Amino acid sequence: MASDKSFHLEVVTPEEAVFKGEVVSVTAPGEEGSFQVLHSHAPLLAALSRGHLKILLPDGTKTFFHIGGGFFEVSHNNAILLAESIDPEQEPASMATP
């Protein structure tokens, strides 16, 4: 169920759809550094580097992946992340909350 603070995200690789649903935020490894996307973000097309992907769901659950680069597009509260490769992972120490 969508809330007024969430947006729709799809995470896909050339082989499969990995995630599809409503999220509160996404933190991704951009070519120029890590960035975060929230509801009502301005349109964006960004190249991604190898690194950690963090997805925050509306219920507060966090999901983590390690991606092997790709692209991320945001427009009108819809986002798609095209990853060259992706693997689920535990919360990386670099993303842990104190």
Say if residues 38 and 20 touch (Cβ distance below 8 Å): no
What are the extents of the domains in the chain? 7-91
The CATH label, of 2.40.37.10, 3.30.70.60, 1.10.760.10, 2.60.15.10, for the domain at 7-91 is 2.60.15.10
Q: What's the pTM?
A: 0.89
Say if residues 74 and 33 touch (Cβ distance below 8 Å): no
Say if residues 27 and 36 touch (Cβ distance below 8 Å): yes
pLDDT tens digits for 35-86? 999 999 999 999 999 999 999 999 999 999 999 999 999 999 999 999 999 9
